[in-house]
Amino acid sequence: MNSSELSDRDFERISQLVYAQCGINLHEGKKELVKARLGKRLREGNFRSFSDYYKYVITKEGTDELITMIDSISTNLTYFFREEPHFHRLRTIVKSWFDAAGAAGQKRRQPKLRIWSAGCSTGEEPYSLGITVKETLNGFPADFKIIATDISTRVLRTAVNGVFPNEKAKNLSPEILRKYFQLGHGRWEGYIRIKKEIRDMIDFSRFNLMETPSSNFIFDIIFCRNVMIYFDKQTQASVVNKFYNCLNKGGYLFIGHSESLTGLDHAFKYIEPSVYRK
C-alpha cells in the first residue's frame, strides 16, 4: 500500500485509538484531515503505510510518537480575548468577589483566586485571563494563579515561551499592547511577547481531560471553551462532572459560545449562554 493512502480500516483503527486516548471523536468527515496531518508523520518517520504507523504507535517504543500523533490531530485555532463577552463577565465576577473580600476585611490575608484554563492551546486564553484579572484587581493584593493545561506538548512549548506573531495582536487595544507585551527587534522583528509579570501568573502543564484530576485540582473558575465540541455526549458528560468536582462552591464554568450542556446529566446551575455555576 502506498503511504499516501488511508484505508477505511486504518482510519477506523486510528479513530478508535484517538478516542480512547483523548476523547476526540473523529467521524468519517475527518478522514481527509487525519490523512493530511498524519501523512507528514509517515514521511518523516519513513513508515511505509498508515497500517505500519498504527502498529508502531500502539507499542511501548511508540509512546512518544503516539503523543506526537495526538498533537498533530488536535485543532489549535485560538487568539487573544476570543469570545470577548466571557472576559467582560469574568471581570464582573472577579470585581464582585474582591469587593466582598475587601468589605469583609480580608485584605490583610489576601483572598485566593484559582482559575483553570483547560485546553489552553498555545496560551492566548490563559494570557488573556491573566491580563483581565490584572486589570480588574488594579493593585488589590490577592493570591492569584492560573493553571493552564493541554494534551499537546507542541502547543504548550509555544504557550510557555509567550512569543506570538504580530498578527495575533490585531484584536488588542494599543493600551493593552503597551502595558503587557514587548515588541520584538532584530531577529524577533514581527513578533510580540507577553511580559514577565503576566507569564509568572500562569503554570502550564500537560493534562489529558480523560484522566481524573488530582485532589488538589480545586478552582474558583474553569474555562474550557471550544474543546468539548470534539467529544461525544458520553465523554462530554464525564468531563463536565469532573469540572464540577474541581470547583469550589459558587465557582463558575465557562464553555464555548457554540457549546451547551443541554442534554447532559450534570449538577451545574445555568447562568447565561455558555456560563454555568456550581
pLDDT at 75: 65
User: What local confidence, expressed as pLDDT, does residue 229 receive?
Assistant: 87
- Structurally, the chain folds into a number of domains equal to 2
Shared domain check, 111 and 30: no
- Annotated catalytic residues are 37, 150
Residue 20's domain comprises 8-73
Mean pLDDT throughout 40-67? 92
Q: Is residue 1 part of a domain?
A: no
61 shares its domain with 117: no
Range list of H helices, the chain: 8-22, 31-45, 50-57, 63-73, 85-103, 124-137, 153-161, 174-180, 196-199, 233-246
Same-domain pairing of 106 and 227: yes
> Is 80 contained in some domain?
no
At residue 123, the 3 state secondary structure works out as coil
Q: List the one residue out of 226, 218, 197 whose CA is nearest residue 77.
A: 226
Residues 158 and 30 in one domain: no
> 94 and 54 share a domain?
no
Which grid cell is 197? Answer: 509579570
Task: Say if residue 120 is in the same domain as residue 203.
Answer: yes
Of 46, 81, 83, which Cα lies nearest the Cα of 65? Answer: 46
Give the contacts of 181 (CB within 8 A, at least 6 positions apart): 169, 172, 192, 193, 194, 195
> Is residue 239 over pLDDT 60?
yes
pLDDT grade, residue 1 (50/70/90)?
Answer: very low
Q: Which of 34, 52, 73 is where one domain is finished?
A: 73
CA 39 to chain centroid, in Å, comes to 25
Residue 90 sits in the same domain as residue 21:
no
Same domain, 49 and 94: no
List, for residues 185-232, the tens digit of each pLDDT value: 999 999 999 999 999 999 999 999 999 999 889 999 999 999 998 899
Q: Is pLDDT above 80 for 169?
A: yes
* pLDDT value of residue 233: 93
Residue 112, domain CATH: 3.40.50.150
Given a cut of 70, is residue 109 above it in pLDDT? no
145/229 same-domain check? yes
Tens of pLDDT, residue by residue over 59-108, are 999 988 998 898 888 766 789 999 999 999 999 999 988 877 666 655 55
Do both 54 and 152 map to the same domain?
no
**Domain boundary residue among 38, 73, 108?**
73
Q: Which of 27, 48, 73 is the last residue of a domain?
A: 73
What's phi and psi for 159, nearest 5 deg?
-60, -45
Same-domain pairing of 158 and 236? yes
Supply angle C-alpha 22, 26, 31, rounded to 5: 135
pLDDT (tens digit per residue) in 7-21: 999 999 999 999 998
User: Above pLDDT 70, what percent of the chain?
Assistant: 95
Q: Say yes or no: 111 and 175 in one domain.
A: yes
- Sequence-ordered list of residues with C-beta below 8 angstroms from that of 152, at least 6 positions apart, any chain: 70, 71, 74, 76, 121, 206
191-194 and 181-183: which strand pairing?
Answer: antiparallel
CATH of the domain at 31: 1.10.155.10
